[in-house]
Structure 1
Amino acid sequence: MPPKGTDQELCCPVCGQEHLSPESLPRNIKLKQIVEDYKANIKNGEGLSGADEINKEKTTNLKNSNDTNSVYKEERSQVETEVNEKSSRLDSVITSLREKLLLIDELVNKEKDREAAIKGSHVDLRKDVNSVMDEMEELIKAHRSTGMKLLEAELKQREDAAEKRLKVLSDAQKFLRTAELQVQSLLNETEDLSFSERVQEVEDQVSKVTIQDSLTDMELPGHLKEVCEKIEHQNNQLRLGLGSAQRALRVVLNPSEVTFDPETIHPNLVLSEDLKSLSFSVTKQQYPATPLRFTSFFQALSSQSFTQGEHLWHFQAEACSWVFAVCYSDLPRSGSASGLESSLGSWCLMYCDNLLRAYEQGKDMHLRRTPSLKKMEIRLSFSSGSLVFYSVSDVSREKTLLHTFNVNFTLPVFLAVRMMSGQPKAHISLN
């Protein structure tokens, strides 16, 4: 620009036209466009100097680094979130596993204890069963030995008789052959007197030989009927012995097994072959007299006694009033005191004339009137000290509680029954 006070013309650098002042200069559109483009390039990062480029690169790298850190932080946060979610799920699974492991550990320990108890009880069980089997084996051996002795004794008699008959015949044969030789020697006898005497002697000797009479006195037994009868009697004894052993085996394998004791039943009661049923008989049976047999009432005790455990039995009565009881064995066998309901060692129910009564150690209690009571269930629990009686419906088999005795037994107890009346079709059975 020229100094003030100096006149100087202004010329357009493009067209060369002179102007008096800058304001009179025309607008340079092209230059304006170049300046605006330059400004735009600067704004967009173009047309920068080397230092600007470096700063821009640093800025860009810093921005990219920040962006990378941001992405890394975001990914890390996402991973941590996923890990936390997995850990949360695993925690619940681990908790469930530990709970089940604790339960399984407890069950395993209980089963180990149970297994040990079972194996321990099986030692005694095997011992008891083996003892019963040994008893059966001894019974069979004894039966075989006795049967063979009976047979051998009979056969020896037959053999001795046959041997004796043969000896008689052999002796007669020997004698007659000797006589034959004597007769032949008489042919050479020259003296008549001597001949006659010797002939007479031989005739007398021969006449004494009575073969048929001798054999008749030693006749052989025609058959083995007697030994057969003796062996059959032994068979009956064997059956009784094996039956007793079998019942003992059933008691070992089934602690609640119960049968009636043949030595206790009243003579007017008939015992079934399986020893589980009693029937009334007008005719008294020819049972052996024993101090255990009831003689005043139609009663019977079980063969088995019970001191522990849990037991369940069913009774059924037909055409009779009855008494079902659990009792000690020391009650009398005759007289008024021998009735189950009268004993101080008896707990029973009596059903008679449609009236049900309970008796505990001789004291009675009226329970109810009921038109029919045929089937009964009895539960005996030594652990709870209870004796419970139920009636069982013939139709629905539903059970109705009749009475509960709470008692701690001090002695072994037996099951017992009584028929209150002697009817031809009266029948009591147990299971």
Structure 2
Amino acid sequence: MMAHGSPEGCLESELTCPICLHLLLDPVTLPCAHSFCLVCLETPERDNTSGFDQALCCPVCGQEHLSPESLPRNIKLKQIVENYKASSISGELQSSAEDKLINDRPSPEDADVCKSTDSGKSSLVETETNERRSRLNPVITSLQEKLALVDDLASKEKAREAAVKAAHADLRKDVSSVLEEIAELVKTYSTTALKLLEAELRPREDAVGKRVRMLSDLQKPLRSAGLQVDALMDEMDDACFIDGVRDVENQVSSLTLEPLQDSSSDLELSSSLKKVCEKIEHQNTQLRLGLGSTQRALRVVLNPSEVTFDPDTIHPNLVLSEDLKTVSFSAAKQPYPARSRRFSSFFQALSSQSFVRGEHLWEFQAEGCAWVLAVCYGELPRSGSGSGLESSAGSWCLMYCDNLLRAYEKGKDTPLRRTPSLKRMEIRLSFSTGTLAFYSVSDVSGDKTHLHTFKVRFTQPVYLAVRMMSGQPKAHITVN
């Protein structure tokens, strides 16, 4: 054994089991941070014949822990012990050989006699030591390489774990914000509906309550007059009797029931409730609009590639579907509100969502029309000849018209190919690689064919945009 004052001795002490006082064998580490051989913790006294886990008491600090069978093995500590054993064996062999050579060194007078013998022994020991070292060196190297690899992987996974947790925390926060908005919409709807109902019911209840109070006020003098009449029945003095009768008559004549007649009826109440129903139905419309907006916001949070068309940008000859994903041609102009963002010269529509990062994939389908499909900046002209998607300097698009496919970048066109039909497309936008790629999709097999890729580094948020180049009754464009 090495001296404890030396570095090797200190290391050996740290790697020694406190129970058996030997180097750790298949070590396990308790939650209190003390390590022991697994076999030393599995003593006969701890045999569990009852079928229940028994507490394990640490031999060093006395803390109680789970049974050793449920404790994880300390693989890293085991590797350190094995490496130490390997280096110790090599060092002990070399030290033993050197001590043997020193102790067995012949005296000067026997030097000549023993020279050849010592030389042979020294050579044999050195050979054995080299053989052991050469046998252990690959094992030690392999262990060290694997330990370094595991350490590196563990470090990367910890960093990835932190990134995932941070991203999930942001996602939970965004989803909670949208759900709180939905709850607030429902709460506002409920409060408003109850107020409308209360506004019709409360006056009727107040009127009935007022009549009850007035009748209650009449009951008191009438009962008092009744008591006076009972008393007059026993009155023997004629003058007192006459005065008493006159007093009761005055009291009764002063009471009137005309104001107590109920002017309201069940028919009037029914009419009032119908008005409440109409007002609540108006609130239903507002609630549906609000919930639709928040649900789309939730989809955007959960799906960063979610895309819908902005109702305030579509041309008046385009009709937007309820899910805001399809625009259809209409021969009659729609009475849309006037908006500065609405296209007025071309049958175009812009997405509600903008994109600044990430990887995105969309599907595009057109029926009954020539079309333009683009990714563009938001500061696009809304009227005039320069408002066409293919004309803008901040637009990257494909145009399919008269069986010819063209690519446009910053207003400059590049003819690509002729094709008799092109209805389904796939668009892939990658901010990391700075690419915008277009693929055609077969209606029959679903196979995809690369059409064109733009290489561009966007400097602003970009939107998805479409243009319907010809107006036909059943023409429509859908983006998912």
Question: Shorter-chain TM-score category?
Answer: 0.5 to 0.7
Alpha-carbon contact 1:164-1:218 (below 8 Å) kept: no
Corresponding position of 2:4: none
Of 248, 269, 291, the residue aligned with 1:242 is 291
Letter in 2 for 1:152: E
1:398–1:162 CA distance, 2 compared to 1 (3 A): same
Match of 2:153 in 1: 107
1:347-362 matches, within 5 Å, as: 347-362=396-411
Query: Unpaired segments of 5 or more residues in structure 2?
Result: 1-119, 221-255
Cα 1:98–1:424 change in 2 (3 A) is farther
Match of 1:51 in 2: none
CA contact (8 A) 1:264 1:301 kept: yes
Partner of 1:338: 387
**TM score, norm. by length of structure 1:** 0.66
Say if 1:354 and 1:171 are closer, same or farther in 2 by CA, change over 3 A: farther
The alpha-carbon distance between structure 1 residues 98 and 319, as it changes in their structure 2 partners (threshold 3 A), is farther
RMSD: 4.0
- Contact persistence 1:350–1:356 (CA under 8 A): yes
Taking a change above 3 Å as real, the CA distance of residues 225 and 411 of structure 1, as seen in their structure-2 partners, is: same
Q: C-alpha separation between the residues in 2 aligned to 1:270 and 1:256?
A: 23
Query: Quick one: distance in 1 between partners of 2:214 and 2:274?
Result: 27
Equivalenced residues, count: 338
Q: 1:420 corresponds to which residue?
A: 469
Post-superposition shift, 1:369?
0.9
User: Is the CA contact 2:211–2:260 (under 8 Å) kept in the aligned structure 1?
Assistant: no
The match for 1:156 is: 202
Of 375, 395, 400, the residue aligned with 1:326 is 375
* Correspondence for 1:134: 180
Alignment equivalent of 2:189, drawn from 143, 147, 158: 143
The corresponding residue for 1:396 is 445
- Contact (CA 8 Å) 1:165, 1:218: kept in 2 or not? no
Greater CA deviation, 370-379 or 271-280? 271-280
Question: 1:385 and 1:152 mapped to 2: Cα distance?
Answer: 60
> Within 2, Cα distance between the matches of 1:306 and 1:403?
21
Instruction: Report the CA distance shift for 1:217/1:361 in structure 2 as closer, same or farther (over 3 A).
Output: same
Q: Distance in 1 between matches of 2:206 and 2:198?
A: 12
Listed one character per residue, the Cα deviations across residues 110-161 of structure 1 (whole Å, up to 9, x for unaligned) are 1111111112222322222222222222222222221211121122244356
Bigger CA radius of gyration: 1
Partner SS, residue 304 of structure 1: coil
Unaligned runs of 5+ in 1: 1-72, 175-205
Give the 3-state SS of the residue equivalent to 2:443 in structure 1: coil
Confirm or deny: 8 A CA contact 1:316 1:376 kept in the other structure.
yes
Identical aligned pairs, as a percentage? 70
TM-score, with structure 2 as normaliser = 0.60
**Alignment match, 1:266:** 315
In 1: Cα distance, 2:428 partner to 2:138 partner: 48
Pick aligned residue for 1:229 from 274, 278, 281: 278
Cα separation, 2, equivalents of 1:271 and 1:143:
26
Determine the C-alpha separation between the residues in 1 that align with 2:265 and 2:164. 71
Aligned to 2:453, what secondary structure does the other structure show? Answer: strand
Matches within 5 A, 1:145-294: 145-160=191-206, 215=263, 220-222=268-270, 224-294=273-343
Q: For the structure 1 residues 419 and 172, does the alpha-carbon distance in structure 2 shift closer, same or farther, using more than 3 Å as the test? A: farther
Q: Secondary structure at the match of 1:344?
A: coil
Contact (CA 8 Å) 1:161, 1:218: kept in 2 or not? no
Q: Distance in 2 between matches of 1:268 and 1:162?
A: 57
Q: CA, structure 1 residues 129+87, in 2 after alignment: closer, same or farther (shift >3 Å)?
A: same
Contact residue 172 and residue 209 of structure 1 kept, 8 A: no
2:293 and 2:193 mapped to 1: Cα distance?
Answer: 20
SS of the aligned residue for 1:234 comes to: helix
| Distance across 2 between alignment mates of 1:82 and 1:425 | 90
Q: 2:319 & 2:366 partners in 1: Cα distance? A: 15
Label 1:380 to 1:164 Cα distance change in 2 as closer, same or farther (>3 A).
same
Deviation at 1:298, TM superposition (A): 1.9
- Alpha-carbon distance in 2 for matches of 1:172, 1:336: 84
What is the alpha-carbon distance in structure 1 between the residues aligned to residue 392 and residue 203 of structure 2?
58
The residue type equivalent to 1:104 in the other structure is V
Deviation track 1:382-417 (CA, whole Å, cap 9, x = no partner) reads 222221111122233222221111222111111111
Higher relative contact order (CA 8 A, sep 6+): 1
SS across alignment from 2:428: strand
Deviation per residue, 1:317-346 (Å, 9 max, x gap): 122211111111121222322221122221
Distance change >3 Å, CA 336–CA 89, structure 1 → 2 = same
Shift of 1:366: 1.5
In structure 1, what is the Cα distance between the partners aligned to 2:329 and 2:135? 77
